[in-house]
């Protein structure tokens, strides 16, 4: 059901762990839904120089977190904010329809971590989407 | 079986025992006659079916004319529940079941609710057991059917069926039990237990897939479900699955002959597994009752990890297990059974079901535990829930 790329990132996840003196930390999802992603960013001169994650969730949740960290590492904050769930899915050679919400969570985890960074550094926070839990809007509502 | 695969999902399905397959074989290639045909080839098939019926009836302690073959356990459940509800709807429209039934039962009742029936779903305690007093209190003058599973497919809990059926009998209500998981594990004598309707499925006890049976006690009237020809004494139409029926009877006969030894073997493996996991992995709970459970069933919840990740990593090590019911693996909801016994969503998401079978060995148990220690450790290191837990001092 999963692509080889997903299985690779699931079995050998990149950038697992935490950054103790992180500049931004974001956590999205909730345990009720079965997915929580937490992302740590180290940012220097507006560039993401290090990123780590911890994820509670299914294979797709772990794989999307892993690839998202790879995709934003070395990028500027503005570039990282352009990461879309679609590009995460493409980079993984696709996800089963029931697992697409995991890619949205990954996008939201990046946004949440950058928002935290901006807040800490006195930047204005733009309107950004954030997952407060299962709203059902990402097409993966589990309350059906 | 592939040497590199350790199969511990016998509650999902079993392989067909070679000796069972040998008994089935002639009915595919040589003795292929339609049992309804009157020439010798047809009569041969008819004879095979009636022999199978007698064998199954003997195991259950009932009369052969009380056994009806179906295409699956699910069909037997559908027939029993809808058939009994509709046949008695003039008498009443209240039905009783439990909150931890298999979907083959649960979804029948949900369908009947849409058809105007009223259903009471009995709760279970934290071990998945139904309190007989709850059943007695739920029965009303217009109650026509009670359906309680013999043993649960996810957590293995065995219900006090004798007590429950006795209550039903006293109140004159039809009692159905979904014995799909229990058959082949427990010496079920339907008549002695006052069961009116009982469903079974061959592929759970080393028989073939695609064949089941419904026991209908003499005198119990239920509506037909599959309409057509005159097969199964006009009660279940469709040309019989002769090889399947032969295989089911052969498998059940073997199961009843080896019941004690099989139970001992499975219990030994389960105990070794449970004790070893509890000793080596912290923050684990055993779901279900330690004693009143199917001998090969182990259902554990590992805190801070998610079940699908666990299954995928076990699969990479050749270990084939399940998280909750195999039927629910397509959905993302945690199992209704684990929620019904009071687990939080978070804990329910981290469940693992291991169901041992005849060919499993103690070496395999040890191999699974060794890998579980490593995998659960790895997933916890990745889990933000575990991180929070440790930072809060492990409270």
Question: Nearest-CA residue of chain A relative to B380?
Answer: A56
Choose one of B202, B235, B257: the last residue of a domain. B257
Which pLDDT belongs to residue A124? 58
3-state secondary structure of B309: helix
Task: Report the distance separating Cα B248 and Cα B344, nearest Å.
Answer: 39
A141 lies in some domain: no
CB-based burial, B132-162: b 16+ in 10 Å, e otherwise? bebbeebbeeebbbbbbbbbbbbbbbbbbbe
Q: Which domain holds residue B338?
A: 6-13+259-391
**Number of compact structural domains in chain B:** 2
Q: Which of B304, B312, B331 sits opposite A56 (nearest CB)?
A: B304
3-class secondary structure, B127: coil
Boundary (domain end) residue, out of B257, B274, B294: B257
Q: What is the CATH number of the domain that holds A46?
A: 3.90.1010.10
Assess contact for B105 and B178: CB atoms under 8 A: yes
Angle at A78 between CA A82 and CA A12, to 5 degrees: 60
Run of H or E residues at B299: strand B297-302
Please report which confidence band the pLDDT of residue A99 belongs to, taking 50, 70 and 90 as the band edges. confident
Instruction: Indicate the number of domains in chain A.
Output: 1
Domain of residue B271, CATH code: 3.90.1150.10
> What residue of A is the nearest CA neighbor of B382?
A54
Task: Return the pLDDT at A137.
Answer: 46
Is A142 inside a domain boundary? no
Residues B303, B226 within the same domain: no
The answer, for A98 touching chain B at a CB cutoff of 8 Å, is yes
Do B326 and B182 share a structural domain?
Answer: no
Domain residue limits at A14? 4-120
Would you write out chain B's pLDDT as a tens digit for each of its 395 residues? Answer: 556 899 999 999 999 999 999 999 999 999 999 999 999 999 999 999 999 999 999 999 999 999 999 999 999 999 999 999 999 999 999 999 999 999 999 999 999 999 999 999 999 999 999 999 999 999 999 999 999 999 999 999 999 999 999 999 999 999 999 999 999 999 999 999 999 999 999 999 999 999 999 999 999 999 999 999 999 999 999 999 999 999 999 999 999 999 999 999 999 999 999 999 999 999 999 999 999 999 999 999 999 999 999 999 999 999 999 985 333 455 667 899 999 999 998 899 999 999 999 999 999 999 999 999 999 999 999 999 999 999 998 86
- Which helix (H) or strand (E) segment holds residue B201: the answer is strand B197-201
CA-to-CA dists, residue B275 to B156, B272, B290, B375, angstroms: 17, 5, 11, 18
Q: Is residue A129 part of a domain?
A: no
B345 contacts A33? CB cut-off 8 A: yes
pLDDT in tens, A43-85: 999 999 999 999 999 999 999 999 999 999 999 999 999 999 9
Regarding whether B218 and B173 lie in a shared domain, the answer is yes
**A62-74 as b/e: b if 16+ CB within 10 A:** bbbbbbbbebbbe
**Positions of B marked active-site:** 327
Query: Where a domain ends, among B213, B236, B257?
Result: B257
Give the strand order in the sheet containing B94-98: B67-70, B212-216, B197-201, B174-178, B143-147, B94-98, B118-122
User: Does the residue A41 lie in any domain?
Assistant: yes
CATH (domain of B112): 3.40.640.10
CA-wise closest residue to B211 among B174, B193, B236: B236
Q: How many CB pairs under 8 A join A and B?
A: 66
Nearest Cα of chain B lies from the Cα of A89 at a distance, in angstroms, of 18
Looking at beta carbons, which residues of chain B come within 8 Å of A7?
A: 312
Q: Do A32 and B382 touch (CB under 8 A)?
A: no
Distance, CA of A105 to CA of B75 (rounded, Å): 40
* Alpha helices by DSSP H, chain B: 18-24, 26-29, 40-60, 73-87, 103-114, 132-138, 161-171, 231-234, 242-257, 259-280, 307-316, 336-340, 345-349, 362-381, 384-391
Residue A1 touches chain B, beta carbons under 8 Å: no
Is residue B59 one of the residues assigned to a domain?
yes
Chain A closest-CA separation from residue B354 CA (Å): 19
Q: What percent of chain A has pLDDT over 70?
A: 85
Q: What is chain B's length?
A: 395
Cα separation of B308 and B305, whole Å?
9
Residue A112 falls within a domain, yes or no? yes
In this complex, the residue of A16, A59, A142 whose CB is nearest that of residue B332 is: A142
Check pLDDT > 80 for residue A31.
no
Domain annotation covers residue B1: no
Cβ pair B384:A140 closer than 8 A: no
User: Is B227 a member of any domain?
Assistant: yes
């Amino acid at each position: 059901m999963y692509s080889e790329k997903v299985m690779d990132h699931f079995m050998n996840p990149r950038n697992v762990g935490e950054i103790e003196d992180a500049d931004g930390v974001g956590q999205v999802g909730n345990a009720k839904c079965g997915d929580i992603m937490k992302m740590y960013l180290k940012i220097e001169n507006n560039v993401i120089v290090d990123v780590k994650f911890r994820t509670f969730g299914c294979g797709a949740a772990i794989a999307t977190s892993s690839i998202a960290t790879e995709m934003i590492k070395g990028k500027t904050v503005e570039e990282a904010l352009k990461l879309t769930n679609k590009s995460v899915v493409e980079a993984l050679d696709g996800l089963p329809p029931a697992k697409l919400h995991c890619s949205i969570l990954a996008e939201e985890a990046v946004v949440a971590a950058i928002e935290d960074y901006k807040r800490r550094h006195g930047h204005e926070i733009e309107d950004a989407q954030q997952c407060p839990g299962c709203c059902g809007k990402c097409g993966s509502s589990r309350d059906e | 079986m592939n040497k590199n695969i350790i199969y511990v999902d016998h509650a999902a399905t079993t392989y067909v025992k070679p000796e069972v397959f040998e008994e089935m074989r002639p009915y595919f290639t040589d003795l292929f006659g339609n049992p309804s045909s009157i020439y010798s080839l047809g009569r041969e098939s008819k004879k095979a079916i009636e022999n199978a019926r007698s064998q199954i009836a003997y195991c259950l302690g009932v009369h052969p004319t009380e056994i009806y073959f179906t295409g699956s356990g699910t069909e037997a459940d559908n027939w029993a529940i809808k058939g009994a509800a509709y046949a008695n709807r003039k008498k009443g429209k209240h039905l009783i079941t439990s909150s931890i039934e298999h979907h083959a039962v649960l979804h029948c009742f949900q369908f009947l609710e849409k058809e105007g029936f009223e259903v009471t779903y009995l709760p279970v305690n934290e071990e998945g057991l139904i309190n007989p007093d709850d059943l007695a209190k739920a029965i009303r003058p217009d109650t026509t059917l009670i359906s309680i599973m013999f043993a649960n497919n996810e957590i293995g809990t065995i219900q006090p069926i004798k007590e429950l059926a006795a209550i039903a009998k006293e109140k004159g209500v039809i009692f159905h039990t979904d014995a799909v998981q229990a058959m082949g594990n427990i010496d079920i004598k339907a008549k002695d237990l006052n069961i009116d309707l009982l469903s079974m499925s061959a592929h759970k006890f080393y028989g073939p897939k695609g064949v089941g049976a419904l026991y209908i006690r003499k005198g119990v009237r239920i509506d037909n479900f599959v309409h057509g020809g005159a097969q199964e004494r006009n009660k279940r139409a469709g040309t019989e699955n002769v090889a399947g029926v032969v295989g089911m009877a052969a498998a059940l006969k073997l199961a009843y002959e080896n019941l004690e030894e099989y139970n001992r073997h499975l219990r030994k493996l389960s105990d070794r597994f449970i004790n070893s996991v509890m000793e080596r992995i912290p923050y684990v709970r055993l779901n279900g009752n330690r004693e009143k459970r199917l001998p090969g069933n182990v259902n554990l919840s590992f805190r801070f990890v998610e079940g699908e990740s666990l299954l995928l990593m076990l699969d990479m090590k050749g270990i084939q297990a399940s998280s909750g019911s195999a039927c629910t693996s397509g959905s993302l909801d945690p199992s209704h059974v684990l929620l019904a016994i009071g687990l939080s969503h978070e804990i329910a998401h981290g469940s693992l079901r291991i169901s041992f079978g005849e060919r499993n060995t103690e070496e395999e148990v040890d191999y699974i535990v060794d890998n579980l220690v490593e995998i659960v450790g790895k997933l916890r290191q990745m889990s933000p829930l575990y991180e929070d837990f440790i930072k809060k001092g492990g409270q």
